[in-house]
Amino acid sequence: MNLLEGIESRKSIAKVKQDQLEKEKIGELLRLATLAPNHHLTEPWRFFVMTGEGRKVLGDAYRDIALENNTDASEELIDSKQQKKARRAPVVIAVAVSFRSQNEIERREDCAATHAAIQNMLLGAYGMGLGAMWRSGAPMYHPRMKQAFGLDENSELVGLLYIGYPEIEPEKKTRKPISEVTTWID
């Protein structure tokens, strides 16, 4: 498969097998991430690879956040549900950006570079026959999640990548026609 075919056919895959991934494949995904373009070569990305019981760090953070908003369910039920969420894949990579300054433009550039690193990992996973899903959402931005990964005030999470061997073939999804999202300026 060439690069263009890979970009065109890659899909997010949420359902993956719990089979363990080879460390070499995980290492290669991280290496590909660090090849992303980044302004002034700041390499602002930080990666936290969770496997096995290491995923409990994420599950505990999910649980604590869910407990803040809970009024009905038991703590045990919430813990079980949130631990299951953290174990949706055999490998979860939390991706953070470490800002180089307080300058708003530089912070945006650092975020853009880190998002490009995530895209490199998604494409790399697809090229290796792996399924991957980039997840975010409100819990990811909660202070408890930052605390779980030891992030300081100059860092923040930008994505959680769930990676494993695909359990299913993803549905073919359609996108808006290019004409609906493009303005030509001649």
The answer to the question of whether 55 is labelled as a binding residue is no
Q: How far, in Å, are 34, 73, 75 from residue 79 at the CA level?
A: 34, 10, 6
The answer to the question of whether 10 is labelled as a binding residue is yes
The tens digit of pLDDT for each residue in 104-123 reads 999 999 999 999 999 999 99
The answer to the question of whether 136 is labelled as a binding residue is yes
CB 140 within 8 A of CB 92: no
The answer to the question of whether 46 is labelled as a binding residue is no
The answer to the question of whether 9 is labelled as a binding residue is no
The answer to the question of whether 184 is labelled as a binding residue is no
The answer to the question of whether 172 is labelled as a binding residue is no
The tens digit of pLDDT for each residue in 17-73 reads 999 999 999 999 999 999 999 988 999 999 999 999 999 999 999 999 999 887 678
Cα–Cα dist 35/43, whole Å: 9
| CATH among 3.30.230.10, 3.40.109.10, 3.30.360.10, 3.20.20.70 for 12-53+88-167 | 3.40.109.10
CB 123 within 8 A of CB 156: no
